[in-house]
Amino acid sequence: MGSRLIRRCRTTFVVTVLAVVTAAAPGMPGPPGTHASAAALPFDPGPARAGLERLLPSRAEQFTLVPVEEPASGDYFSVSGRAGAIQVRGTSPATLLTGVGWYLERVAGVDIGWPGDSLGRLPATLPAVSGTITRSAAVPHRYALNDTDEGYSGAYRDFASYQRDIDLMALHGVNEVFVPTGAEYPYYRALQGFGYDAAELRAWIPGPAHQAWWLLQNMSGYGGPVSEQLIEARAALGSRIAAHLRALGMTPVLPGFFGTVPPGFAARNPGAVTVPQGKWVGFARPDWLDPTGPVFAELAAAYYRVQQRRFGDSDMFKMDLLHEGGTPGPVDVTRAAEAVQRALETARPGATWVMLGWQNNPSTALLGGVDRSRVLIVDGLSDRYEGLDREKQWGGTPYAFGAIANFGGHTSLGANTGVWTERFRAWLTRSDSALRGIAYLPEGTGGNPAAFDLFTELAWEPGPVDQRAWFAAYAARRYGGADPHAAAAWEQLRLGPYSGASGTWSEPQDSLFTARPSLTATKAARWSPTAMRYEAGTVERALAELLQVAPALRASDAYRYDLVDVARQALTNRGRVLLPRVKGAYEAGDLERFRALVREWNASEELLGRLVASDRRFLLGPWLAAARSWAAGTEERDRLEYDARSILTTWADRGPSDSAGLHDYANREWAGLVRDVYAPRWAAYFASLDTALVQGTAPAAIDWFAGEDAWAHGHQAYPTSPTGDPVALAGEVAAALTVASAAGR
């Protein structure tokens, strides 16, 4: 799909073949056609060369990138060459980078993960390839990013950050990426022609961190109003993101229009019929404009015109009718879906409608109204439940095998990778299979690098992936060399957090340290698993093994990130042992034991705060500084900072936060949050229990939201650079856990 778009947009190249293709390998004979004019090539490899130089600046000149035509069978790459002169052939700029990534992992033995890398272990001269490595894509659609990704991964990132993520996705074989950045722009411009002024629309549009749920028709206005300057800046960024994807031969998947409108639309537009959508977890949902009515087509056309002018072309558009409780009212869903697709087809002939497979969507009635050959369902539940038959449920509609390995961007380690390796190939090879892709859909990206690596690899292996063998190979390349302790560590992680079973959950449990305090707490977020999903000892043993990895491998960014992450998870899991013991001591009236256990809990949170402060990926400071950097003035700086703080904590105002349970949905163990949100909550709670034990009274009630909301509206600055030695701090965690285990506490 991505290469189809780039072929459509092909232009005469500015660079010469010699400058772009062969400059990388002095003395190496060029491939056939190297000296032809650039216009004779199937595509411009320049964007791939630029991406390679960003990802691998010190070794990029040792690669020759050769563009080849995509055959009817789909994307492929091949890798060959002698030492210091590696040739990669591929069917798009992104696929050329996929070939580079495969070479780095399978031949050079290093990793560029999301996050963490071991590039420092590369030799000065890259090793030769034995023969020729060739891989073909098993599926045409390699889709990435959840609707919620921008909110939970950072709505205030700059272009360099998005560019890095896209380069990494290309390196791992992705070819379709959801782009919601700037999605408010076509609404803002188009609706001004339908009876709304700019100020009304700026008040209707939420702050960037909360916009995903507005695009899903769940809410509006929260965290706003947004400024004209912010709308323009985000549109400019979204346009650059889409252009970068197109340059790499990847498809920018843009939000489509399916009828979300501001209040009062029908009154301002004669003939329009709108359907109230009720509530979504405490929020008033925006109205739905009946797609079968006379005004819908006109507004949809205006929306797509504005979108195309600002964001350029695409042939894939993401939209979900009646998401999470939306109501059709008197509207015929089948006819509505037909009208939505007709409006898309009118604006973008031949475009594909991307839908999320989630809960009961898409319904049989909805699919009955569309041309299913131009639909792709990205399944968010492929690894979660048993007994799924997507071919039967969706009537043969093309779909992508998808997984949501975290919700809210939780820092929990793990995924149902064993389900992935067994189920994907089984579904793909069914006689009636409609599986046409993979869909990497965590609610927040930038963590769990092993899960990203394994999941995207499913699309490029010709047969089933052996989960055990995969993790053994991953352990070697992750730190840039084979090591028995690294292998043992990752085998424990495979057996534990990375072997979640299907049936109920697709993500690991979250942290009790991040939960609102209660002696009966079993989770932090309302919809998280209520218990451990694996044996906790696997993570403690993995930590012990990682601490024994050879000194030569410890300098890599990947090793230091993983060490912090595994130590964090081991310490987090200890909370699930401690809390029931605290409860037992309290209920027994054993003040001395209660206080000893509380001291251990508080010490664990203090150590956790210092541990995560040692790695930049676990810092709150950059998240908040980025939000403030987008503002036009002081008032907007404060508003955007609240947007960024609240999405991680209260999520919303008191009603949705407390009554609907949105608080701590995006909990994560980050420096700043641990010290100033989570630890103080538990300290206050335990202090109230202590007083109750001493005085023989009931513990005092605490208004948790009031404290959380005060922090969310605060402006305390947090460090943007890490402090402390990750290795020493991980050792401190291991020692503390050993002492606690020996003491039987």
CATH code for the domain in which residue 121 is found: 3.30.379.10
For the ranges 27-36, 119-128, 510-519, 637-646, the lowest mean pLDDT is seen at 27-36
CB 101 within 8 A of CB 63: no
- Say if 34 falls within a structural domain: no
Mean pLDDT of the chain: 94
- Tell me if 312 is assigned to some domain: yes
What's the Rg (C-alpha) of the chain? 26
- The residue among 121, 136, 151 that closes a domain is 136
Between CA 474 and CA 491 the distance in angstroms is 10
Does the residue 437 lie in any domain? yes
User: What does the DSSP 8-state code read for residue 356?
Assistant: E
Q: Using pLDDT thresholds of 50, 70 and 90, give the confidence band for residue 601.
A: very high
Tell me what the mean pLDDT of segment 518-537 comes to: 98
Tell me, what CATH number does 694's domain have?
1.20.120.670
Percent of the chain with pLDDT over 90: 94
Please tell me the predicted confidence (pLDDT) of residue 40.
84
Q: Is the dihedral of CA 447, 450, 451, 454 positive or negative?
A: positive
Q: What is the structure's pLDDT at 741?
A: 80
* Torsion 343-345-349-352 (CA) sign: positive
According to the model, what pLDDT value does residue 3 have? Answer: 46
What is the mean pLDDT of the segment spanning 481-502?
A: 98
Question: pLDDT of 27-65, one tens digit each?
Answer: 333 333 333 455 689 999 999 999 999 999 999 999 999
Domains of the chain: total: 3
Residue 266 lies in a domain: yes
Buried b (16+ CB within 10 A) or exposed e, 705-738: bebbbebbeeeeebeeebebebbebbebbbebbe
Determine contact, residues 356/377, Cβ cutoff 8 Å: yes
120 and 195 assigned to the same domain: no
Residues 173 and 84 in one domain: no
Residues 192 and 303 grouped into a single domain: yes
Instruction: Reply yes or no on whether the pLDDT at 21 is more than 70.
Output: no
Q: Are 178 and 66 found together in one domain?
A: no
Task: Give domain status of residue 630, yes or no.
Answer: yes
**DSSP per-residue string spanning 283-299:** EEPPEEE-TTSTTHHHH
Q: pLDDT at position 39, please?
A: 60
Same domain, 129 and 158: no
Spatial CA neighbour of 482 closest among 552, 579, 571: 552
How far apart CA 93 and CA 245 sit, in angstroms, is: 10
Residue-wise pLDDT for 88-103, tens only, equals 999 999 999 999 999 9
Do 338 and 458 share a domain, yes or no? yes
Mean pLDDT of 403-411: 97
At 317, phi and psi to the nearest 5? -135, 130
Residue at which a domain ends, from 136, 154, 179? 136
Q: Are residues 130 and 210 in the same domain?
A: no
* CATH code, 226: 3.20.20.80
Higher-pLDDT residue of 37 and 375 is 375
| Alpha-carbon span 458 to 627, nearest angstrom | 36
pLDDT in tens, 556-595: 999 999 999 999 999 999 999 999 999 999 999 999 999 9
In this prediction, residue 27 carries a pLDDT of 32
Helices marked H in 82-224 — which ranges? 93-103, 149-153, 159-171, 184-191, 198-204, 211-215
Q: Is 241 exposed, middle or buried (0-12, 13-18, 19+ CB in 10 A)?
A: buried
Same domain, 459 and 529: no
Is the residue at 2 inside a domain? Answer: no
Residue 637 CB partners (closer than 8 Å, separation 6+): 628, 631
Position 24 scores a pLDDT of 36
Residues 236 and 282 occupy one common structural domain: yes
Region 149-158: what's the mean pLDDT?
A: 98
In the structure, how many helices (H) and strands (E) does the chain have?
Answer: 29, 17
Q: Put residue 408 in one of left, alpha, beta given phi > 0 → left and psi -120 to 50 → alpha.
A: left
**Per-residue confidence at 743, pLDDT binned at 50, 70, 90?**
confident
β-sheet with 274-275: strand ranges across: 260-261, 287-289, 274-275
Question: Tell me: the pLDDT tens digits for 156-202?
Answer: 999 999 999 999 999 999 999 999 999 999 999 999 999 999 999 99
**Is residue 125 located within the same domain as residue 177?**
no
pLDDT at 19 over 80: no
Residues 60 and 179 in one domain: no
Question: What's the rounded Cα separation, in Å, for the pair 402 and 424?
Answer: 9
pLDDT at residue 12, as a whole number: 31
Residues 94 and 125 in one domain: yes
- Inside any domain, residue 231: yes
Structure confidence at residue 744 (pLDDT): 67
Parent domain of 350: 141-465
Convert the pLDDT of each residue in 190-246 to its tens digit: 999 999 999 999 999 999 999 999 999 999 999 999 999 999 999 999 999 999 999
- Is 30 contained in some domain? no
> How is residue 300 written in tokens?
């949809």
